[in-house]
Amino acid sequence: MSAYEVVPVRAFSDNYIWTLRDESRAAVVDPGDAQPVIDYLEREGLELVAIVNTHHHADHVGGNARLLSRWKVPVFGPHDDRIPDVTRRVGDGDRVTLPHFDVALDVMEIPGHTRSHLSFSGDGMLFCGDTLFAVGCGRLFEGTPRQMHESLSRLAQLADDTRVYCGHEYTLSNIRFAKALEPDNAALLALEQRAAAQRERDLPTLPTDIGQEKATNPFLRVTEPQVVAAASTYAGRALEGPVDVLAAIREWKNNY
């Protein structure tokens, strides 16, 4: 495995196109827009070697075609015709190896945000698209609260120091919501200080890590008494079980 680093290429208002790179090559995750990727690769003198897609939304795949017209590279993505550019369709339990970098990534199917959403994890990293965000999770466009709970629970089983590369910079607004549920969560309040300072300097708050998410993310904390109580107050009834709690706080967040 060659030495590489992971850098964010910004797209649209708050997307990150995570880019593995060394001195000559790059692989990109979820290139929703080709132009910022091309600009970055040209500026840095890099050739593209692979594209990874977590899910079919345009802000994650919209740049595939233009990148492929310039670089003939494999595209790893889900079994879903809505991403026609995928050349290597993968599912739960598959392992992909990024060419050149020789980095192995394990594939998990993590439905909830969309029905065919994937995550890719390996070498201490997790690329999870719009399923797990720092202190939040994706909207349930094509999945159920149960699916999202199961998907998040699988991600939470990764090692605490796994770096989590999410698709969007949503951290500060997610923290505002999380504080409504757990106003006294010390890890959350400490994170808010750090994240606010980073955003003030226009720096990403990502990657987060699994340990930090377990300590701060209400969607991973659906059995914490304070989260259950807050969700029950919102729902107007005593909620029982993590799926009902997740459903309630996801709906609450949608309207927050």
Residues that bind Fe ion (CB under 5 A): 59, 130, 167
Q: Which residues, 6+ apart, have CB-to-CB distance to 31 below 8 Å?
A: 11, 17, 37, 51, 60, 61, 62, 63, 64, 67
Q: Decide if 202 is catalytic.
A: no
Q: Residue 138 or 145: which CB sits closer to Zn ion?
A: 138
Nearest to 172 by CA among 18, 14, 32, 60: 14
Sort strands 95-98 and 103-109 into parallel, antiparallel or unpaired. antiparallel
57 has catalytic annotation = yes
CB of 64 to Zn ion, least distance (A): 15
d(CA 150, CA 144) in angstroms, rounded, equals 10
> Judged by CB, which is closer to Zn ion: 49, or 61?
61
Please give the Cα distance from 173 to 205 (Å, whole number): 12
168 noted as active-site residue:
yes
From the candidates 56, 57, 100, 149, which is the catalytic residue?
Answer: 57
Non-local CB neighbours of 168 within 8 Å, separated by 6+ positions:
14, 15, 16, 130, 133
User: Which residues ranging from 117 to 136 are in contact with Zn ion (CB under 5 A)?
Assistant: 130
Q: Residue 205 Cβ, how far from Fe ion at the closest point, in Å?
A: 16
33 is an interface residue for Zn ion by CB under 5 A: no
Q: Is residue 149 annotated as a catalytic residue, yes or no?
A: no
Please report how close the Cβ of residue 159 comes to Fe ion at its closest, in angstroms: 25
Catalytic site includes residue 59? yes
The answer to whether 155 touches 210, Cβ cutoff 8 Å, is yes
- Residue of 117, 168, 209, 244 marked catalytic: 168
How many CB atoms sit inside 10 A of residue 61's CB? Answer: 23
Active site residue 60: yes
Nearer to Fe ion, 130 or 244 (CB): 130
Of 57 and 100, which has the nearer Cβ to Zn ion?
57
Binding footprint of Zn ion on the chain (CB under 5 A): 57, 130
Which residues are catalytic, by number? 55, 57, 59-60, 113, 130, 168
